[in-house]
Structure 1
Amino acid sequence: MKALAARRHHPMALLVILLLALVATGGLYVAFQPRDAQAEAYTEEDVQAGEALFLANCATCHGRNAEGLTDSEGNTLGPSLIGVGAAAVDFQVGTGRMPMQASGPQAQGKPAQMDEEQTRQLAAYVASLGPGPSVPDEEALDTSLGDAEAGGEIFRVNCAMCHNAAGAGGALTRGKYAPALTGVEPRHVYQAMATGPQNMPVFNDTNLSPEDKRDVITYLESLEETGSPGGISLGSLGPVTEGLYAWTIILTLLTGCAVWLGAKAK
Protein backbone atom coordinates (compact mmCIF):
# COMPACT_ATOMS: atom_id res chain seq x y z
CA MET A 1 0.00 0.00 0.00
CA LYS A 2 2.86 2.36 0.80
CA ALA A 3 4.36 1.62 -2.62
CA LEU A 4 1.07 2.50 -4.31
CA ALA A 5 0.69 5.63 -2.24
CA ALA A 6 4.18 6.68 -3.18
CA ARG A 7 3.36 6.37 -6.87
CA ARG A 8 0.16 8.40 -6.69
CA HIS A 9 2.04 11.54 -7.60
CA HIS A 10 4.02 9.94 -10.41
CA PRO A 11 3.77 11.99 -13.66
CA MET A 12 2.33 8.95 -15.49
CA ALA A 13 -0.33 8.20 -12.87
CA LEU A 14 -2.94 10.47 -14.46
CA LEU A 15 -2.34 8.95 -17.90
CA VAL A 16 -2.70 5.41 -16.53
CA ILE A 17 -5.97 6.31 -14.80
CA LEU A 18 -7.27 7.91 -18.01
CA LEU A 19 -6.40 4.82 -20.06
CA LEU A 20 -8.10 2.54 -17.54
CA ALA A 21 -11.21 4.73 -17.62
CA LEU A 22 -11.31 4.61 -21.43
CA VAL A 23 -10.91 0.83 -21.47
CA ALA A 24 -13.68 0.43 -18.90
CA THR A 25 -15.98 2.78 -20.82
CA GLY A 26 -15.37 0.93 -24.09
CA GLY A 27 -15.97 -2.43 -22.45
CA LEU A 28 -19.26 -1.30 -20.93
CA TYR A 29 -20.38 0.15 -24.27
CA VAL A 30 -19.70 -3.10 -26.11
CA ALA A 31 -21.37 -5.13 -23.37
CA PHE A 32 -24.57 -3.11 -23.17
CA GLN A 33 -25.07 -1.70 -26.68
CA PRO A 34 -28.17 -3.04 -28.50
CA ARG A 35 -27.21 -5.88 -30.80
CA ASP A 36 -28.32 -6.04 -34.44
CA ALA A 37 -30.85 -8.87 -34.61
CA GLN A 38 -30.52 -9.21 -38.37
CA ALA A 39 -26.72 -9.36 -38.30
CA GLU A 40 -26.85 -12.10 -35.66
CA ALA A 41 -28.76 -14.28 -38.14
CA TYR A 42 -25.79 -14.36 -40.53
CA THR A 43 -23.49 -17.35 -40.35
CA GLU A 44 -19.83 -17.65 -41.27
CA GLU A 45 -20.90 -19.57 -44.37
CA ASP A 46 -23.10 -16.62 -45.38
CA VAL A 47 -20.16 -14.24 -45.03
CA GLN A 48 -17.83 -16.48 -47.03
CA ALA A 49 -20.38 -16.97 -49.82
CA GLY A 50 -21.04 -13.23 -49.83
CA GLU A 51 -17.33 -12.48 -50.14
CA ALA A 52 -17.11 -14.76 -53.19
CA LEU A 53 -20.07 -12.95 -54.77
CA PHE A 54 -18.51 -9.59 -53.94
CA LEU A 55 -15.17 -10.47 -55.57
CA ALA A 56 -16.94 -11.73 -58.68
CA ASN A 57 -19.45 -8.89 -59.11
CA CYS A 58 -18.48 -5.81 -57.10
CA ALA A 59 -14.72 -5.63 -56.56
CA THR A 60 -14.08 -4.07 -59.98
CA CYS A 61 -15.60 -0.78 -58.77
CA HIS A 62 -15.54 -1.04 -54.99
CA GLY A 63 -12.10 -2.65 -54.55
CA ARG A 64 -11.18 -6.14 -53.39
CA ASN A 65 -11.54 -5.09 -49.75
CA ALA A 66 -14.59 -2.85 -50.36
CA GLU A 67 -12.41 0.17 -49.62
CA GLY A 68 -13.60 2.00 -52.76
CA LEU A 69 -11.72 2.86 -55.95
CA THR A 70 -10.85 6.04 -57.85
CA ASP A 71 -9.44 6.50 -61.35
CA SER A 72 -6.23 8.28 -62.30
CA GLU A 73 -8.03 11.64 -62.33
CA GLY A 74 -9.42 11.18 -58.83
CA ASN A 75 -12.97 10.39 -59.91
CA THR A 76 -14.76 7.87 -57.71
CA LEU A 77 -15.42 4.58 -59.48
CA GLY A 78 -17.14 3.04 -56.48
CA PRO A 79 -17.46 4.29 -52.90
CA SER A 80 -16.23 2.45 -49.85
CA LEU A 81 -18.75 -0.04 -48.49
CA ILE A 82 -17.22 -0.34 -45.05
CA GLY A 83 -19.89 0.64 -42.54
CA VAL A 84 -22.79 1.01 -44.99
CA GLY A 85 -24.52 -1.99 -43.39
CA ALA A 86 -26.68 -4.81 -44.69
CA ALA A 87 -29.61 -2.47 -45.42
CA ALA A 88 -27.66 -0.59 -48.11
CA VAL A 89 -26.76 -3.84 -49.88
CA ASP A 90 -30.30 -5.21 -49.67
CA PHE A 91 -31.65 -1.97 -51.15
CA GLN A 92 -29.12 -1.49 -53.94
CA VAL A 93 -28.99 -5.13 -55.03
CA GLY A 94 -32.66 -5.91 -54.30
CA THR A 95 -33.85 -3.05 -56.53
CA GLY A 96 -31.43 -3.96 -59.31
CA ARG A 97 -29.47 -0.73 -59.02
CA MET A 98 -26.35 -2.76 -58.33
CA PRO A 99 -24.51 -4.12 -60.16
CA MET A 100 -24.91 -1.07 -62.41
CA GLN A 101 -25.88 -1.71 -66.00
CA ALA A 102 -23.87 1.26 -67.27
CA SER A 103 -22.04 4.24 -65.82
CA GLY A 104 -24.18 7.33 -65.42
CA PRO A 105 -25.15 10.14 -63.08
CA GLN A 106 -27.43 7.80 -61.14
CA ALA A 107 -27.97 4.06 -60.78
CA GLN A 108 -31.37 3.14 -62.18
CA GLY A 109 -33.70 0.53 -60.80
CA LYS A 110 -34.10 -2.62 -62.89
CA PRO A 111 -34.90 -6.30 -62.36
CA ALA A 112 -32.61 -7.70 -59.68
CA GLN A 113 -29.56 -9.57 -60.96
CA MET A 114 -29.24 -11.70 -57.82
CA ASP A 115 -31.83 -13.81 -56.05
CA GLU A 116 -32.82 -13.25 -52.41
CA GLU A 117 -30.32 -15.77 -51.03
CA GLN A 118 -27.41 -14.23 -52.92
CA THR A 119 -28.50 -10.75 -51.84
CA ARG A 120 -28.62 -11.92 -48.24
CA GLN A 121 -25.15 -13.45 -48.48
CA LEU A 122 -23.71 -10.32 -50.03
CA ALA A 123 -25.34 -8.24 -47.29
CA ALA A 124 -23.82 -10.57 -44.68
CA TYR A 125 -20.32 -9.99 -46.06
CA VAL A 126 -20.66 -6.20 -46.19
CA ALA A 127 -22.20 -6.15 -42.70
CA SER A 128 -19.15 -8.06 -41.42
CA LEU A 129 -16.85 -5.23 -42.58
CA GLY A 130 -18.27 -2.69 -40.13
CA PRO A 131 -21.44 -1.77 -38.24
CA GLY A 132 -24.22 -0.10 -40.21
CA PRO A 133 -28.00 -0.07 -40.72
CA SER A 134 -29.52 -3.54 -40.75
CA VAL A 135 -32.36 -4.97 -42.78
CA PRO A 136 -35.58 -3.94 -40.95
CA ASP A 137 -37.62 -6.58 -39.18
CA GLU A 138 -41.29 -7.33 -39.85
CA GLU A 139 -42.56 -5.13 -37.02
CA ALA A 140 -40.83 -2.07 -38.50
CA LEU A 141 -42.69 -2.71 -41.78
CA ASP A 142 -46.11 -3.60 -40.36
CA THR A 143 -48.27 -0.79 -41.70
CA SER A 144 -51.23 -1.95 -39.59
CA LEU A 145 -49.32 -0.34 -36.70
CA GLY A 146 -48.57 2.84 -38.64
CA ASP A 147 -50.29 6.22 -38.77
CA ALA A 148 -50.87 7.44 -42.33
CA GLU A 149 -51.76 10.98 -41.22
CA ALA A 150 -48.55 11.38 -39.20
CA GLY A 151 -46.60 9.78 -42.04
CA GLY A 152 -48.06 12.24 -44.53
CA GLU A 153 -46.92 15.17 -42.43
CA ILE A 154 -43.41 13.73 -42.12
CA PHE A 155 -43.29 13.02 -45.85
CA ARG A 156 -44.39 16.52 -46.86
CA VAL A 157 -41.80 18.12 -44.58
CA ASN A 158 -38.85 15.89 -45.48
CA CYS A 159 -39.49 14.21 -48.83
CA ALA A 160 -42.06 16.05 -50.97
CA MET A 161 -39.61 18.66 -52.28
CA CYS A 162 -37.89 15.93 -54.32
CA HIS A 163 -40.36 13.04 -54.56
CA ASN A 164 -43.51 15.17 -54.95
CA ALA A 165 -46.27 15.22 -52.33
CA ALA A 166 -47.92 12.28 -54.09
CA GLY A 167 -44.67 10.30 -54.34
CA ALA A 168 -44.62 10.68 -58.13
CA GLY A 169 -40.91 11.56 -58.22
CA GLY A 170 -39.23 14.53 -59.85
CA ALA A 171 -36.18 15.81 -61.71
CA LEU A 172 -32.98 16.91 -59.96
CA THR A 173 -29.79 18.48 -61.32
CA ARG A 174 -27.14 17.03 -63.68
CA GLY A 175 -29.32 14.24 -65.02
CA LYS A 176 -30.29 12.91 -61.59
CA TYR A 177 -33.83 12.38 -60.38
CA ALA A 178 -35.93 11.39 -57.39
CA PRO A 179 -37.71 8.16 -58.38
CA ALA A 180 -41.42 7.54 -58.05
CA LEU A 181 -42.38 5.70 -54.87
CA THR A 182 -45.40 3.82 -56.18
CA GLY A 183 -45.00 0.07 -56.25
CA VAL A 184 -41.84 0.11 -54.12
CA GLU A 185 -41.55 -2.63 -51.50
CA PRO A 186 -41.93 -1.32 -47.92
CA ARG A 187 -38.53 -2.67 -46.87
CA HIS A 188 -36.84 -0.82 -49.70
CA VAL A 189 -38.55 2.42 -48.71
CA TYR A 190 -37.38 1.92 -45.13
CA GLN A 191 -33.83 1.08 -46.26
CA ALA A 192 -33.68 4.14 -48.51
CA MET A 193 -34.53 6.36 -45.56
CA ALA A 194 -31.99 4.62 -43.34
CA THR A 195 -29.09 4.58 -45.81
CA GLY A 196 -29.62 7.60 -48.09
CA PRO A 197 -28.88 6.18 -51.55
CA GLN A 198 -27.82 8.41 -54.45
CA ASN A 199 -28.66 12.05 -53.61
CA MET A 200 -31.05 11.20 -50.81
CA PRO A 201 -30.08 12.32 -47.29
CA VAL A 202 -29.73 9.76 -44.50
CA PHE A 203 -32.61 9.69 -42.03
CA ASN A 204 -31.16 7.71 -39.16
CA ASP A 205 -33.07 6.84 -36.01
CA THR A 206 -32.07 10.17 -34.47
CA ASN A 207 -33.75 12.08 -37.29
CA LEU A 208 -36.67 9.75 -37.93
CA SER A 209 -37.44 6.98 -35.47
CA PRO A 210 -38.37 3.50 -36.74
CA GLU A 211 -41.97 4.37 -35.92
CA ASP A 212 -41.73 7.54 -38.04
CA LYS A 213 -40.36 5.54 -40.97
CA ARG A 214 -43.21 3.06 -40.59
CA ASP A 215 -45.70 5.94 -40.64
CA VAL A 216 -44.18 7.23 -43.90
CA ILE A 217 -44.52 3.78 -45.47
CA THR A 218 -48.13 3.65 -44.27
CA TYR A 219 -48.79 7.03 -45.90
CA LEU A 220 -47.30 5.88 -49.21
CA GLU A 221 -49.43 2.75 -49.15
CA SER A 222 -52.52 4.86 -48.47
CA LEU A 223 -51.75 6.93 -51.57
CA GLU A 224 -51.71 3.79 -53.69
CA GLU A 225 -54.97 2.58 -52.17
CA THR A 226 -56.90 5.84 -52.60
CA GLY A 227 -55.49 6.76 -56.00
CA SER A 228 -56.21 10.21 -57.48
CA PRO A 229 -59.32 11.81 -55.91
CA GLY A 230 -59.80 14.04 -58.96
CA GLY A 231 -59.79 11.22 -61.47
CA ILE A 232 -56.94 11.75 -63.95
CA SER A 233 -53.74 12.35 -62.00
CA LEU A 234 -51.96 14.29 -64.82
CA GLY A 235 -48.68 12.99 -63.44
CA SER A 236 -49.50 14.27 -59.94
CA LEU A 237 -47.49 17.39 -60.73
CA GLY A 238 -50.05 19.85 -59.40
CA PRO A 239 -51.23 23.15 -60.90
CA VAL A 240 -48.50 23.30 -63.57
CA THR A 241 -49.83 20.38 -65.59
CA GLU A 242 -53.41 21.24 -64.68
CA GLY A 243 -52.93 24.74 -66.07
CA LEU A 244 -51.19 23.40 -69.15
CA TYR A 245 -54.03 21.01 -69.89
CA ALA A 246 -56.62 23.73 -69.25
CA TRP A 247 -54.92 26.26 -71.51
CA THR A 248 -54.38 23.67 -74.21
CA ILE A 249 -58.05 22.66 -74.23
CA ILE A 250 -59.32 26.25 -73.96
CA LEU A 251 -57.01 27.56 -76.68
CA THR A 252 -57.95 24.64 -78.94
CA LEU A 253 -61.65 25.38 -78.46
CA LEU A 254 -61.15 29.12 -79.03
CA THR A 255 -59.10 28.47 -82.17
CA GLY A 256 -61.72 26.04 -83.43
CA CYS A 257 -64.51 28.59 -82.76
CA ALA A 258 -62.55 31.34 -84.56
CA VAL A 259 -61.98 29.13 -87.60
CA TRP A 260 -65.65 28.10 -87.63
CA LEU A 261 -66.89 31.69 -87.35
CA GLY A 262 -64.49 32.82 -90.04
CA ALA A 263 -65.60 30.08 -92.39
CA LYS A 264 -69.29 30.87 -91.70
CA ALA A 265 -68.78 34.58 -92.35
CA LYS A 266 -67.50 33.81 -95.81
Structure 2
Amino acid sequence: MQWFDLSDPINLISVIAAIVIIGLTAFVSNFYINKMKTSNPKGELSSDRWDGIGKFENNIPFGWGICFALVMIWGFWYIFVGYPLNSFSQIGQYNQEVAEHNQKYQKKWENLSQNDLVAMGESIFLVQCSQCHGVTAEGLQGKAQNLTQWGKEEGIMQVIKNGSKGLDFPLGEMPVTEINESDARAVAAYVMAEISELKNTKYPAEVAKGKEVFSTAGCTACHGEDGRGMEGSAPDLSTYGTSKFLAYVLEHGKKGHIGHMPSFKFVQFNDVQIRALAAYIESLENVD
Protein backbone atom coordinates (compact mmCIF):
# COMPACT_ATOMS: atom_id res chain seq x y z
CA MET A 1 0.00 0.00 0.00
CA GLN A 2 1.23 3.50 -0.80
CA TRP A 3 -0.01 6.66 0.90
CA PHE A 4 -0.49 10.07 -0.58
CA ASP A 5 2.11 10.97 -3.21
CA LEU A 6 2.33 14.54 -4.54
CA SER A 7 4.28 13.29 -7.55
CA ASP A 8 1.08 11.62 -8.73
CA PRO A 9 -0.75 14.16 -10.94
CA ILE A 10 -4.25 13.01 -9.95
CA ASN A 11 -3.53 13.28 -6.23
CA LEU A 12 -1.87 16.64 -6.75
CA ILE A 13 -4.86 17.97 -8.70
CA SER A 14 -7.23 16.72 -5.97
CA VAL A 15 -5.34 18.60 -3.26
CA ILE A 16 -5.05 21.77 -5.35
CA ALA A 17 -8.80 21.63 -6.13
CA ALA A 18 -9.66 21.25 -2.44
CA ILE A 19 -7.42 24.19 -1.52
CA VAL A 20 -8.97 26.33 -4.27
CA ILE A 21 -12.50 25.49 -3.06
CA ILE A 22 -11.62 26.44 0.51
CA GLY A 23 -9.91 29.62 -0.67
CA LEU A 24 -12.88 30.67 -2.79
CA THR A 25 -15.27 29.91 0.04
CA ALA A 26 -13.25 32.03 2.45
CA PHE A 27 -13.06 34.86 -0.09
CA VAL A 28 -16.81 34.87 -0.80
CA SER A 29 -17.65 34.64 2.88
CA ASN A 30 -15.35 37.54 3.71
CA PHE A 31 -16.80 39.55 0.83
CA TYR A 32 -20.38 39.26 2.07
CA ILE A 33 -19.45 39.71 5.72
CA ASN A 34 -17.78 42.99 4.79
CA LYS A 35 -20.89 44.01 2.85
CA MET A 36 -22.95 43.51 6.00
CA LYS A 37 -20.65 45.95 7.78
CA THR A 38 -21.28 48.80 5.34
CA SER A 39 -22.40 52.22 6.57
CA ASN A 40 -24.66 52.63 3.51
CA PRO A 41 -27.02 49.66 3.71
CA LYS A 42 -29.44 48.86 0.92
CA GLY A 43 -32.55 46.73 1.08
CA GLU A 44 -35.92 46.51 2.79
CA LEU A 45 -35.86 46.88 6.55
CA SER A 46 -38.23 45.06 8.84
CA SER A 47 -40.40 46.94 11.31
CA ASP A 48 -38.35 45.68 14.22
CA ARG A 49 -35.87 48.00 15.91
CA TRP A 50 -33.38 47.43 18.67
CA ASP A 51 -31.83 50.60 20.04
CA GLY A 52 -32.29 52.21 16.66
CA ILE A 53 -30.79 49.29 14.77
CA GLY A 54 -32.95 47.79 12.02
CA LYS A 55 -32.92 44.37 10.40
CA PHE A 56 -33.06 43.61 6.68
CA GLU A 57 -35.62 41.19 5.30
CA ASN A 58 -32.99 39.16 3.47
CA ASN A 59 -31.85 36.46 5.83
CA ILE A 60 -29.54 33.74 4.64
CA PRO A 61 -31.65 30.75 3.57
CA PHE A 62 -31.54 28.08 6.23
CA GLY A 63 -30.82 25.27 3.76
CA TRP A 64 -27.98 27.20 2.16
CA GLY A 65 -26.43 27.82 5.56
CA ILE A 66 -26.60 24.13 6.46
CA CYS A 67 -25.07 23.11 3.12
CA PHE A 68 -22.31 25.67 3.49
CA ALA A 69 -21.41 24.41 6.94
CA LEU A 70 -21.46 20.78 5.78
CA VAL A 71 -19.23 21.53 2.79
CA MET A 72 -16.71 23.29 5.03
CA ILE A 73 -16.70 20.36 7.46
CA TRP A 74 -16.33 17.86 4.61
CA GLY A 75 -13.50 19.88 3.07
CA PHE A 76 -11.46 19.84 6.28
CA TRP A 77 -12.18 16.13 6.75
CA TYR A 78 -11.17 15.33 3.16
CA ILE A 79 -7.82 17.10 3.44
CA PHE A 80 -6.74 16.24 6.97
CA VAL A 81 -8.48 12.96 7.85
CA GLY A 82 -9.87 11.12 4.83
CA TYR A 83 -8.58 10.40 1.32
CA PRO A 84 -6.00 11.16 0.08
CA LEU A 85 -3.80 12.29 3.00
CA ASN A 86 -4.52 9.54 5.47
CA SER A 87 -6.29 6.77 3.65
CA PHE A 88 -5.88 4.05 1.07
CA SER A 89 -5.22 5.27 -2.47
CA GLN A 90 -5.91 3.13 -5.54
CA ILE A 91 -3.68 5.45 -7.54
CA GLY A 92 -0.90 5.06 -4.99
CA GLN A 93 -1.33 1.29 -5.06
CA TYR A 94 -1.18 1.30 -8.86
CA ASN A 95 2.01 3.39 -8.86
CA GLN A 96 3.60 1.03 -6.35
CA GLU A 97 2.65 -2.01 -8.44
CA VAL A 98 4.07 -0.37 -11.58
CA ALA A 99 7.32 0.41 -9.77
CA GLU A 100 7.61 -3.17 -8.50
CA HIS A 101 6.85 -4.55 -11.97
CA ASN A 102 9.47 -2.29 -13.55
CA GLN A 103 12.09 -3.47 -11.07
CA LYS A 104 11.39 -7.10 -11.95
CA TYR A 105 11.23 -6.23 -15.65
CA GLN A 106 14.53 -4.38 -15.56
CA LYS A 107 16.30 -7.16 -13.65
CA LYS A 108 15.01 -9.82 -16.05
CA TRP A 109 15.95 -7.99 -19.25
CA GLU A 110 19.04 -5.99 -18.26
CA ASN A 111 21.47 -8.24 -20.22
CA LEU A 112 19.67 -8.29 -23.56
CA SER A 113 21.69 -8.60 -26.76
CA GLN A 114 21.73 -5.70 -29.20
CA ASN A 115 19.31 -7.49 -31.52
CA ASP A 116 16.89 -8.14 -28.68
CA LEU A 117 17.13 -4.50 -27.57
CA VAL A 118 16.26 -3.37 -31.09
CA ALA A 119 13.29 -5.75 -31.25
CA MET A 120 12.02 -4.55 -27.87
CA GLY A 121 12.54 -0.92 -28.89
CA GLU A 122 10.54 -1.43 -32.07
CA SER A 123 7.59 -2.74 -30.06
CA ILE A 124 7.74 0.23 -27.69
CA PHE A 125 8.04 2.64 -30.61
CA LEU A 126 5.01 1.21 -32.41
CA VAL A 127 2.86 1.53 -29.28
CA GLN A 128 4.05 4.88 -27.91
CA CYS A 129 5.65 6.86 -30.75
CA SER A 130 4.32 5.81 -34.14
CA GLN A 131 1.11 7.85 -33.83
CA CYS A 132 3.11 11.02 -34.49
CA HIS A 133 6.37 9.83 -36.01
CA GLY A 134 4.79 7.19 -38.24
CA VAL A 135 5.37 3.45 -38.28
CA THR A 136 8.55 4.02 -40.31
CA ALA A 137 9.68 6.85 -37.98
CA GLU A 138 9.94 9.30 -40.89
CA GLY A 139 7.73 11.90 -39.20
CA LEU A 140 4.63 11.60 -41.41
CA GLN A 141 5.89 13.95 -44.11
CA GLY A 142 7.14 16.66 -41.78
CA LYS A 143 4.38 16.50 -39.18
CA ALA A 144 6.90 15.30 -36.58
CA GLN A 145 10.65 14.76 -36.24
CA ASN A 146 12.20 12.33 -38.72
CA LEU A 147 13.76 9.87 -36.28
CA THR A 148 15.62 8.00 -38.98
CA GLN A 149 18.04 10.94 -38.88
CA TRP A 150 18.20 11.34 -35.10
CA GLY A 151 21.45 10.33 -33.43
CA LYS A 152 23.27 10.55 -36.73
CA GLU A 153 25.16 13.21 -38.65
CA GLU A 154 22.01 14.07 -40.63
CA GLY A 155 20.15 14.92 -37.43
CA ILE A 156 22.84 17.38 -36.38
CA MET A 157 22.86 18.92 -39.84
CA GLN A 158 19.10 19.40 -39.68
CA VAL A 159 19.41 21.19 -36.33
CA ILE A 160 22.15 23.44 -37.71
CA LYS A 161 19.98 24.25 -40.72
CA ASN A 162 16.62 24.70 -38.96
CA GLY A 163 17.53 25.48 -35.36
CA SER A 164 16.06 23.72 -32.36
CA LYS A 165 13.46 24.71 -29.79
CA GLY A 166 11.48 23.41 -26.91
CA LEU A 167 13.93 21.61 -24.61
CA ASP A 168 13.77 24.49 -22.11
CA PHE A 169 17.47 24.86 -21.38
CA PRO A 170 18.52 28.08 -19.60
CA LEU A 171 20.25 29.45 -22.72
CA GLY A 172 17.01 29.10 -24.68
CA GLU A 173 16.36 27.97 -28.23
CA MET A 174 19.09 27.28 -30.74
CA PRO A 175 18.79 29.64 -33.72
CA VAL A 176 19.52 28.76 -37.32
CA THR A 177 23.29 28.68 -37.88
CA GLU A 178 24.43 30.44 -41.05
CA ILE A 179 27.05 27.99 -42.31
CA ASN A 180 27.14 26.09 -45.58
CA GLU A 181 26.25 22.43 -45.97
CA SER A 182 29.88 21.32 -46.17
CA ASP A 183 30.75 23.00 -42.87
CA ALA A 184 27.58 21.64 -41.26
CA ARG A 185 28.54 18.11 -42.28
CA ALA A 186 32.03 18.64 -40.86
CA VAL A 187 30.61 19.85 -37.52
CA ALA A 188 28.31 16.84 -37.44
CA ALA A 189 31.25 14.54 -38.10
CA TYR A 190 33.26 16.15 -35.29
CA VAL A 191 30.39 15.89 -32.80
CA MET A 192 29.75 12.24 -33.64
CA ALA A 193 33.44 11.26 -33.67
CA GLU A 194 34.88 13.16 -30.71
CA ILE A 195 32.11 14.59 -28.52
CA SER A 196 29.31 12.05 -28.57
CA GLU A 197 29.81 8.90 -26.52
CA LEU A 198 29.07 6.93 -29.70
CA LYS A 199 32.52 7.92 -31.08
CA ASN A 200 31.56 7.01 -34.63
CA THR A 201 31.10 9.01 -37.85
CA LYS A 202 30.52 8.32 -41.51
CA TYR A 203 32.81 11.23 -42.44
CA PRO A 204 36.10 10.67 -40.58
CA ALA A 205 38.05 12.78 -43.07
CA GLU A 206 36.06 15.88 -42.05
CA VAL A 207 36.48 15.63 -38.27
CA ALA A 208 39.47 18.02 -38.08
CA LYS A 209 37.67 20.62 -40.16
CA GLY A 210 34.55 20.17 -38.05
CA LYS A 211 36.46 20.85 -34.85
CA GLU A 212 37.66 24.17 -36.23
CA VAL A 213 34.19 25.16 -37.49
CA PHE A 214 32.61 24.12 -34.19
CA SER A 215 34.78 26.71 -32.46
CA THR A 216 34.64 29.53 -35.02
CA ALA A 217 30.92 29.23 -35.88
CA GLY A 218 29.87 29.99 -32.32
CA CYS A 219 28.84 26.49 -31.19
CA THR A 220 31.07 26.75 -28.12
CA ALA A 221 29.22 29.83 -26.89
CA CYS A 222 26.38 27.60 -25.69
CA HIS A 223 27.70 24.04 -25.73
CA GLY A 224 31.16 24.91 -24.37
CA GLU A 225 34.57 23.95 -25.68
CA ASP A 226 33.95 20.31 -24.76
CA GLY A 227 30.38 20.28 -26.14
CA ARG A 228 28.89 19.25 -22.80
CA GLY A 229 26.50 22.19 -22.50
CA MET A 230 28.24 24.11 -19.72
CA GLU A 231 26.70 22.26 -16.77
CA GLY A 232 23.14 22.13 -18.07
CA SER A 233 22.92 25.54 -19.71
CA ALA A 234 22.50 23.91 -23.14
CA PRO A 235 22.18 20.34 -24.47
CA ASP A 236 25.05 18.02 -23.59
CA LEU A 237 26.26 16.82 -27.00
CA SER A 238 28.30 14.04 -25.42
CA THR A 239 24.98 12.22 -24.87
CA TYR A 240 23.65 12.89 -28.37
CA GLY A 241 22.43 9.67 -29.98
CA THR A 242 22.44 7.79 -26.67
CA SER A 243 19.70 6.67 -24.32
CA LYS A 244 20.68 9.51 -21.91
CA PHE A 245 19.68 12.18 -24.41
CA LEU A 246 16.52 10.27 -25.31
CA ALA A 247 15.62 9.92 -21.62
CA TYR A 248 15.84 13.72 -21.22
CA VAL A 249 13.50 14.31 -24.17
CA LEU A 250 11.03 11.70 -22.94
CA GLU A 251 10.95 13.26 -19.48
CA HIS A 252 10.68 16.91 -20.53
CA GLY A 253 8.87 16.71 -23.87
CA LYS A 254 9.76 19.03 -26.71
CA LYS A 255 8.17 21.99 -28.43
CA GLY A 256 8.91 21.70 -32.11
CA HIS A 257 8.36 23.86 -35.16
CA ILE A 258 5.19 21.93 -36.00
CA GLY A 259 3.75 20.95 -32.62
CA HIS A 260 4.41 19.90 -29.05
CA MET A 261 5.66 16.48 -28.04
CA PRO A 262 4.31 15.87 -24.51
CA SER A 263 6.36 14.62 -21.61
CA PHE A 264 6.33 10.87 -21.11
CA LYS A 265 7.36 11.27 -17.47
CA PHE A 266 4.25 9.56 -16.14
CA VAL A 267 4.49 6.65 -18.58
CA GLN A 268 7.33 5.53 -16.30
CA PHE A 269 9.73 4.03 -18.84
CA ASN A 270 12.49 2.15 -17.08
CA ASP A 271 16.15 2.23 -18.12
CA VAL A 272 15.96 -0.97 -20.15
CA GLN A 273 12.98 0.31 -22.16
CA ILE A 274 14.72 3.62 -22.86
CA ARG A 275 17.90 1.82 -23.96
CA ALA A 276 15.81 -0.42 -26.18
CA LEU A 277 14.02 2.53 -27.75
CA ALA A 278 17.35 4.30 -28.36
CA ALA A 279 18.79 1.13 -29.90
CA TYR A 280 15.85 0.83 -32.27
CA ILE A 281 16.08 4.47 -33.37
CA GLU A 282 19.82 4.10 -33.88
CA SER A 283 19.21 1.02 -36.06
CA LEU A 284 16.92 2.88 -38.45
CA GLU A 285 18.28 3.61 -41.90
CA ASN A 286 18.42 7.31 -42.67
CA VAL A 287 15.66 8.58 -44.99
CA ASP A 288 16.36 12.01 -46.49
Normalised to the residue count of structure 2, the TM-score between the two structures is 0.22
Greater RCO, 1 or 2 (C-alpha within 8 Å, sep 6+): 2
Larger Rg: 2
